[in-house]
A = this chain, B = another copy of it.
Amino acid sequence: MDFRELDRLDRRALLRGTAMLGAGAMMMRPLPTLAASGPMAAIRKAAEAGKEASVKRLRDWIALPSIAAENRNMAEGAAYMAELARDAGFSNVEIVPTDGQPGVFGTIDVGAPRTLGIYFMYDVKQFDPAEWSSPPLEGKMVDKPGFGLSIVGRGAVNQKGPEATFLAALHAIRAAKAKLPVNIVLICEGEEEIGSPHFRQVATKPNVLAALKKCDGIFIPFASQDKTGAVDVNLGSKGIIELELIASGEKWGRGPKGDVHSSLKAMLDSPAWRLVQALQTLVTPDGNTPAIEGWFENVRPLTEREKMLIREAAKGADEAAEKQALGVNVWIDNLKYDDALIRLAQEPTVNIEGLVAGYTGPGGKTILPGRAVAKLDLRLVPNQTRAEAEKKLRAHLDKHGFTDVEMNVSGGYDPTEVAEDSRLVRTELATYKALGVKANINARLAGSWPGATFTAPPVSIPAAHFGIGHGSGAHAPNEYYLIDSTNPKVAGMVDATMGFAEFLYTLAAIK
């Protein structure tokens, strides 16, 4: 889930284009007093009593990394996920085979009128232990200044911590002998970190699809809070396709098939130059706007409401600090800050993630490479689709004579949208308000996530992310998830557990 990488940059505030909502700029009450009385008191008591078990559950899960890119512990990870689900009260738990790695599916049917979908990923990103301060599978407790005692490990925040916290809420409700106020449908995948290539197979399995279609919406548990305690409520996100463009002598029929001595350039064509020439047709000369034929045909401009949300958010932001953090002097096209934030949300992009050809080490090496690769990501906005984008890119290359330049699409998602007046979003906002947490409505996340599996047919339900609490370092070394908060505005694991419980009761009660 690409947007989770954003917190590595610590620039979430920049990306959300937020407007303040809910409880207003200041929190109504400090988090530790949440649900200290009334019908939630027993659940809180149970959550506190179960905290050690919840942390152990998370630590044990971190110790079993499932990594699809390395085909590591996949069967074990699915089995463990199924066991975690059963343990939390899900019945009919099944491991769902796909053409890739298996998904997991289960339900809790309490006969409630409303049903909530929950999306889990049981896989984690690759890691290099040498880059970590403590072993990435150990789950060491470390103090994070400004936040508090945190568990450090691969998957801590992305996504096992928030997921384990959601499970902790189910355990607490059961331990408190409270009645679950909504039915729950759980769908899990093991390939999120490689772009969810087979997740649609899980979601469209007839019994899974039938269950999902009954949901009022679905969310992924998320540790949303920054150091001010604020959270985002995203009304959609961009789509993405990630791909390699490959020019090669092999495919081209010109230039060498392997690397040859560079002096031969005088009598041979060069796949590296071929790639450069193909690339430069994809964007305007300033590199800033896609120039692929028909690219904007289905682009829906932002609504006035969406632009207003972004402009309002811009007013509260510190432009100079953002620029400094990103290391930039100017925004694209020399735009003003609010216009740059609108462009961030509105425009599709063609980005070069990486270039790889020939010799890439220190200094030089006199070769003419037989192959050159550009790694691109193309962000898509409503109503573009991934399928449309792939087709148009191929047609563009072909039209410009680059029929030999290969497109190796590794993954992607359609853009998503979720209506501001959907019950899912209204429940999020109401829950955050009840929790005294400042919620910012984000018109459109510039990042991407596999929510379109849910928002698009045949599932067609609202999809979002939800949760208080905090963590950071997704995809990076020393990833962590906050357990015992020392920051009065940020939830530790028990408060985050209560946040999920609050959501369930709010969903059951909201109009």
Contact = CB atoms under 8 A, between A and B. Distances in A.
A235 to B, nearest CB: 16
Contacts of A265: 349-351, 379
Interface stretch (A211-219, A336-344, A390-398): A336-344
A344 B267 contact: yes
A267 B335 contact: yes
A6 B261 contact: yes
A82 interface: no
Contact of A331 (B260, B267, B280, B411): B267
A52 to B, nearest CB: 36
A339 B260 CA distance: 20
A257 B328 contact: yes
Most buried by B among A9, A263, A269, A446: A263
A405 B372 CA distance: 21
A244 interface: yes
Contact of A367 (B15, B238, B353, B365): B353
B266 A446 contact: yes
B358 A375 contact: yes
Interface stretch (A86-94, A168-176, A271-279): A271-279
B283 A15 contact: no
Residues of A in contact with B, size category: 35 or more
A372 to B, nearest CB: 6
Given A260-B11, A353-B358, A359-B375, A254 B364 contact: no
A410 interface: yes
Contact of A364 (B9, B345, B368, B410): B410
A266 B349 contact: yes
B268 A328 contact: yes
A162 to B, nearest CB: 20
Interface in A354-377: 354-360, 362-370, 372, 375, 377
Copies of this chain, how many? 2
A277 B263 CA distance: 24
B249 A446 contact: no
A364 B372 contact: no
A96 interface: no
Central interface residue in A194, A257, A327, by most chain B CB within 10 Å:
A327
Interface in A1-47: 2-3, 5-6, 8-9, 11, 14-15
Contact of A354 (B9, B351, B360): B360
Interface stretch (A129-137, A153-161, A285-293): A285-293
A117 interface: no
A270 B448 contact: no
Contacts of A316: none
Contact of A357 (B272, B274, B329, B352): B352
A398 to B, nearest CB: 17
A379 B266 contact: yes
A266 B258 CA distance: 36
A226 interface: no
A256 interface: yes
Nearest to A363: B410
Interface in A120-147: none
Contacts of A254: 328-330
A347 interface: yes
Nearest to A270: B287
A419 interface: no
A346 B263 CA distance: 11
A447 interface: yes
A63 interface: no
A332 B266 CA distance: 8
Contact of A355 (B243, B261, B355): B355
Contacts of A283: 273
A329 B288 CA distance: 37
A280 B281 CA distance: 11
Contacts of A103: none
Given A262-B351, A446-B264, A269 B332 contact: yes
B363 A331 contact: no
Interface string A226-240: 000000000000101
Nearest to A346: B266
Q: Shortest 3 CB-CB distances between A and B: which pairs?
A: A273-B287, A257-B327, A263-B446
30 contacts: A2-B366, A5-B261, A8-B261, A11-B260, A11-B261, A69-B362, A253-B329, A254-B330, A256-B327, A260-B326, A267-B332, A267-B340, A267-B343, A268-B331, A272-B287, A273-B283, A275-B355, A276-B352, A277-B286, A352-B358, A353-B367, A353-B369, A354-B357, A354-B364, A354-B367, A356-B356, A359-B375, A363-B410, A364-B411, A365-B375
Given A266-B446, A272-B355, 9 more contacts: A6-B261, A9-B261, A69-B363, A242-B363, A253-B329, A264-B446, A275-B355, A358-B375, A360-B360
